[in-house]
């Protein structure tokens, strides 16, 4: 959950961040929108499985 909180902070700030996938830097991107949907929770209500959707815009320095 702490990673999702961090992604939501990025979206609120609107600041460009590095997008890194499989140790490869793909560039700088701004998180426009984040959507989460809990697919499964445990008996205490903690998420076990969720679906995460991000909308990103590439940031190009001028």
pLDDT tens, 45-62?
A: 998 999 999 999 999 887
Tens-place pLDDT, residues 25-35: 999 999 999 99
- Measure Cα distances from 38 to 3, 6, 26 in Å: 15, 17, 28
- The string of DSSP codes covering the chain is -HHHHHHHHHHHHT--EEEEETTEEEEEEEEEEEEEEEEEE-TTS-EEEEEEEEEEEE----
Percent of the chain beyond pLDDT 90?
69
Is the pLDDT confidence value at 7 over 90?
no
In this predicted structure, what is the pLDDT of residue 54? 92
47-58 β-sheet, strand order: 17-21, 24-41, 47-58
Is the pLDDT confidence value at 1 over 80?
no
Percent of the chain beyond pLDDT 70?
98
Write phi, then psi, for 4 (nearest 5 degrees): -65, -40
């Amino acid at each position: 959950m702490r990673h999702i909180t961090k992604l939501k902070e990025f979206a609120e700030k609107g600041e460009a961040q590095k997008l890194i996938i499989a140790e490869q830097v793909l560039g700088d991107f701004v998180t426009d929108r984040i959507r989460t949907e809990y697919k499964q929770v445990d008996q205490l209500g903690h998420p076990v499985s969720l679906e995460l959707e991000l909308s990103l815009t590439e940031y190009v320095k001028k």
